[in-house]
Structure formats: structure tokens, C-alpha cells
Amino acid sequence: MPNVWSRVAAFTHKYPLSRGMLSYACIWPLGSCVQQKIQGKEKLDYWRALRFSLYGCCFVAPTLYTWMTIAGYLFPKPGLRSGIYKALVEQVSYTPSAMICFYFFMTLLEGGTLDEACEEVKTKFLPTYKVGACVWPVLQTFNFTVVPPQNRVPFVSLCSLCWTTFLAYMKQLESQQLEKPMTVVAPSLSAPFTAY
């Protein structure tokens, strides 16, 4: 077994993109399964999880790896200032296109039409982007300032387990559900919070 592990380690060292692809091939379907369990499904939809795995491995990991490489060239200096710039540039460049592609291509992978994919993007992009704008700049600033370059894609893939669970939740929502305000009851508060 140690021999197999050393071969995998050597392969991922030689081809760093493979690290992210392996991470996302496992973490994205796990996020889908976690979301299904939170939703209360007794029987998991493994086809949905497989679509998440395929999308995470073959689309998200390569595009994220490319973005991380470009960001490294654009902002080569390490440090907090450079990390903040990278995170902010990502928030207005990579993130919107990644979210649009997620809703569009996942709808097509589910057997939806181009019109359905466009409608899905139109309905779900903005609510998802608003949440992402609160989460990812902080995580990416940490990623760009503390995490070594060879581990940035795997670090982001671990952070994305929670994010992917959220995306899986948003993906399964019907458009009508997004048009209504969502009420969330905080455990320590007695009054519900309504978000629009």
C-alpha cells in the first residue's frame, strides 16, 4: 500500500492539476449527498452525485487551477495586500462565470434544454452570487496569503464542501421558492429572520 500511495503522490506532484481533480471528484458528490441528507432524503440520488463528481472533476478543477495560475502571475508577491487583490479580482471575474456555468451545465447534465438552463441561470445566479460574495473573499484571501501554491486548489476544494452543499441546495430549489422570502430561525433567538 505505501508503494501505491507514493506513486499517487509522485503523480500529483508531477501533474498538480490532478490534485484538484481528485479532490473535486470526491468532494463535490459528497456535498450533493450531504445536501440530500439534510433535505431528508432516505435514499440518495447517486446519479445526481455522479453529475456533481463529473462537473467538479472535469470543469471546476481545471478552470480553478487555471485561474489560480493566472492570479499567481498577475499578483506574484505574497502577502495580505496581494491576497486581497486576488480575492477581489476573483470575485468579479472567475466567480460569476463559474456560477453561471454551474447552473447552465448542471441543468444540461440533468437532461434539461438550453432554454431551461438559461432560465435556471437567470433565476438562481444573483441569490447565489450574493452569498458567495460574503464567503469567498475571506477564504480566498486566506488561501492566497497563507496556503502554499501547490495546495491552493485542494484547500479550496475542502472549503467548497460546504459551498457545494449550498449549491446543491440552490440547484434543487424550484424557481418559485426563490421568489418568496426565506425565513430562518436562529437557535439562540426567538424571533425569525426574514431574508429577501
- Region 179-183 average pLDDT: 54
At 110, give phi and psi (nearest 5°). -80, -5
Burial of 167 (0-12, 13-18, 19+ CB in 10 A): buried
Check pLDDT > 60 for residue 134.
yes
Check pLDDT > 80 for residue 196.
no
- Region 144-157 average pLDDT: 80
pLDDT, tens only, 2-61: 788 788 778 877 888 888 888 889 999 999 999 999 999 999 999 999 999 999 999 999
Check pLDDT > 80 for residue 66.
yes
The alpha-carbon radius of gyration of the chain (Å, integer) is 18
- Region 142-170 average pLDDT: 85
CB 62 within 8 A of CB 72: no
* Helix (H), strand (E) at residue 195: strand 193-195
**What is the overall mean pLDDT for the chain?**
84
Residue 186: predicted pLDDT: 42
CB 154 within 8 A of CB 20: yes
CB atoms within 10 A of CB 174: 8
CB atoms within 10 A of CB 69: 15
At 113, give phi and psi (nearest 5°). -90, 170
What is the pTM assigned to this prediction? Answer: 0.78
